[in-house]
Structure 1
Amino acid sequence: MIARISILNDAELDKFRALIAQRLAELDSDDALGRDGQTVVTLDQQAVGRLSRQDALLSQSMARANQSRRDASRLALHAALARIDDRVFGYCEDCGEDIALKRLELDPTACRCISCASG
Structure 2
Amino acid sequence: MDESDLITFRNLISERLNALDAEDVLGAEGQQTVELDQQAVGRLSRMDALQNQAMANANHARRQAERARLNAALIRMNEGEFGYCDSCGDVIKLERLHLDPAAMICVECAKG
Matched, 1:32 2:25: yes
What's the TM-score, normalizing by structure 2?
A: 0.98
Deviations 1:44-78 (A, max 9, x none): 11121100000000000000000000000000000
- Structure 1 stretches of 4+ moved >2 Å: none
Q: 1:12 aligns with which of 5, 12, 22?
A: 5
Q: 2:101 aligns with which of 82, 88, 108?
A: 108
Q: 2:51 aligns with which of 47, 51, 58?
A: 58
Instruction: After TM superposition, list the pairs within 5 Å mapping 1:55-94 onto structure 2.
Output: 55-94=48-87
Uncovered stretches (5+) of structure 2, i.e. residues with no partner: none
Q: 1:98 aligns with which of 74, 91, 95?
A: 91
Q: How far, CA to CA, are the matches of 1:86 and 1:92 in structure 2?
A: 14
Q: How far, CA to CA, are the matches of 1:35 and 1:118 in structure 2?
A: 37
Larger relative contact order (C-alpha < 8 A, sep ≥ 6)? 1
Work out the number of aligned pairs and report it: 112
The amino acid that maps onto 1:62 is M
RMSD: 0.6
The percentage of counterpart residues that share the same residue type is 54
Give 1:117 shift. 1.1
Q: SS in structure 2 opposite 1:44?
A: coil
- Counterpart in the other structure of 1:3: none
